Structure 1
Amino acid sequence: MKNIVTFFIITLSLLLNAQKKGKVVYKVSLDKSTIEKPYENPENTEAKNEALEMLHESQPVEAYLVFNDSVSLYYVEEKVEIPRWDNDNGVVNITPSGINMSWYMAGSANLYYSDWTRNYNISTSEVVGTRKRIKKEPILWDITEETKTINGYLCYKAILTAKENRIAWFTKEIPLPHGPRGFNGLPGLVLEFQNNKYTYLAKSIELDHYEAEEIEEPLEGDIITEEDYRKWANGFWSDEGN
């Protein structure tokens, strides 16, 4: 009888874990306090000042991770233009800058899809109308004992092997290997990811969200490796420049 009860408890636990599904809303933002301000350094080129200006004008965006027990899809909110305020001879002009670096860093219009039943991780990318599906290599993590709480979940710190400026905080309370923008493969859902100066922080976690029932795999475009994609993209732009 004891063995039957133990078997029932274990089976029920596995079924509950397998049924976990939902949606995470991340806020993706740039820590501007660590970035040099434009035009403060007289030795900077105009191009560098313009790049710094774009970074300081960038605004946080929302990104979404929809998941079930084995499959996930990550995407970013639709592109919105940031207004640029120019004061010209006392007249304020509002024009769109058209570039939000936080949106691009969050993933822009690309999709990130994972299916752990096939150990299959891809991202989509489009270059001048040509779409590719890029097969991602497995990510290696160093998991630490450091913890903190995010949205009520106890999270553990993991560091991307060989890249100490990329840090993930994952929770074993949702024991699924999903994460934002393809940064996944940990023994728990990633609720925060720090990529150099950008942070992906879970604003909300809604389990049993309806979108988890409708996750579709991106099928448009040839599948290539990351290395072949870099060669193809570099070759494409080189040919365009000739």
Structure 2
Amino acid sequence: MESNILKYFFLLAIISITLNANGQNFSGEATYVSKSKMELGNWGARLSEAQKKQVAARLKNRLEKSYVLKFNKQEATFLEEEKIDAISGATDSWGGYFSRGDQYKNILENKIVQSQEFYGKRFLVKDDLYKIEWTMGSETKKIGNYTCYKAKAFVPYKELNWYNFSWSDIRTNEDDKQEEKMVIVEAWYTPEIPLAHGPAEFWGLPGFILEVSADNTTLLCTEITINRNATLEIEAPDNGKEVTKNEYSLTVREKMLDMRNNRGRRRG
């Protein structure tokens, strides 16, 4: 009984904060650092520790990235900061084919616009934002100066990786009948910033998401600035062939399968 009463007052506090913010201008910029675990599978089991370190150094730019989230009350852009390969001194062009492009979200209209480039062709992916069904918890922790609350959700794997490609994702028609793979998402949000924004595909909580973990990747906000007196103008990407998320995924997979088949024919 006491637990239910506490949750009730907690929700009232969140609603009160959000209502008080409605008349204010809210905009700002947040920097996130992402870290992914290196998964080498059966191939990695055959490598020595020295070889694993070499692979980790080569993949550092793909395993550790930084992003900037610019936002106002309704819109946000999420852009990766480009890094130079520490070994070759060049940008990671191959990895860029399967990286998240410049992303725009409109949480009022539930729309996403994302710019992707694949083998010299530009695509403008326009689709609905996936509505995440969050389960709120009472666990808290501090991130910087903000008190954050924990939330969890199950999100379809394809909603988080539609721009990516993996040979393991190629399935036969029979495999497609299998149950859809779901990813456990754990987020930490703060009602002290009463906006439903978050990095990447994550949004929809009664407060700003400062940390989120999904699959083998964690995104953590390392710096945030808030402007309550002005509205930042946010612009969506507008260059490229318009497609949906599903159409873009099919285009990438068909191209990669063609490349694999052509290699096989040349070897034969």
**Does TM-score exceed 0.5, indicating one fold?**
yes
1:239/1:211 Cα in 2 relative to 1: closer, same or farther (>3 Å)?
farther
The question of whether the paired residues in 1 share the 8 Å contact of 2:26 and 2:229 is answered with no
1:147 aligned to 2:146? no
Letter of the aligned partner of 2:22 in structure 1?
A: L
- Tell me which protein shows more strand as a share of its residues: 1
What secondary structure is seen at the aligned counterpart in 1 of 2:23? helix
Match in the other structure for 1:222? 241
Aligned pair partner of 1:24 in 26, 30, 49: 30
Q: How far apart are the structure 1 equivalents of 2:213 and 2:237? A: 26
Q: How far apart are the structure 1 equivalents of 2:99 and 2:228? A: 23
The question of whether the paired residues in 2 share the 8 Å contact of 1:170 and 1:189 is answered with yes
1:171 aligned to 2:190? yes
Q: How far apart are the structure 2 equivalents of 1:57 and 1:72? A: 24
Q: How does 1:29-68 map to 2 (within 5 A)?
A: 29-31=35-37, 41-42=45-46, 54-55=58-59, 60-68=64-72
1:156/1:43 Cα in 2 relative to 1: closer, same or farther (>3 Å)?
same
1:74 aligned to 2:78? yes
Aligned pair partner of 2:22 in 7, 10, 14: 14
Deviations 1:204-230 (A, max 9, x none): 110129996242111112333222222
1:200 aligned to 2:219? yes
Q: How far apart are the structure 2 equivalents of 1:211 and 1:222? A: 34
Q: How far apart are the structure 1 equivalents of 2:229 and 2:239? A: 24
Letter of the aligned partner of 1:125 in structure 2?
A: Q
Match in the other structure for 1:236? 255
Q: How does 1:90-105 map to 2 (within 5 A)?
A: 95-96=88-89, 99=92
What secondary structure is seen at the aligned counterpart in 1 of 2:248? helix
The question of whether the paired residues in 2 share the 8 Å contact of 1:78 and 1:109 is answered with no
Q: How far apart are the structure 1 equivalents of 2:60 and 2:245? A: 30
Q: How far apart are the structure 1 equivalents of 2:187 and 2:227? A: 24
Q: How far apart are the structure 2 equivalents of 1:199 and 1:49? A: 21
The question of whether the paired residues in 2 share the 8 Å contact of 1:121 and 1:182 is answered with no
Deviations 1:78-125 (A, max 9, x none): 231122xxxxxxxxxxx4486499x86xx8461111112322123221
Match in the other structure for 2:109? 118
Q: How many residue pairs end up in the alignment?
A: 214
The question of whether the paired residues in 1 share the 8 Å contact of 2:61 and 2:83 is answered with no
1:114/1:210 Cα in 2 relative to 1: closer, same or farther (>3 Å)?
farther
The normalised TM-score by structure 2 is 0.65
**RMSD, matched Cα:** 3.9
Letter of the aligned partner of 1:133 in structure 2?
A: L
The question of whether the paired residues in 2 share the 8 Å contact of 1:81 and 1:100 is answered with no
The question of whether the paired residues in 2 share the 8 Å contact of 1:82 and 1:100 is answered with no
| Identical-residue share of aligned pairs (%) | 26
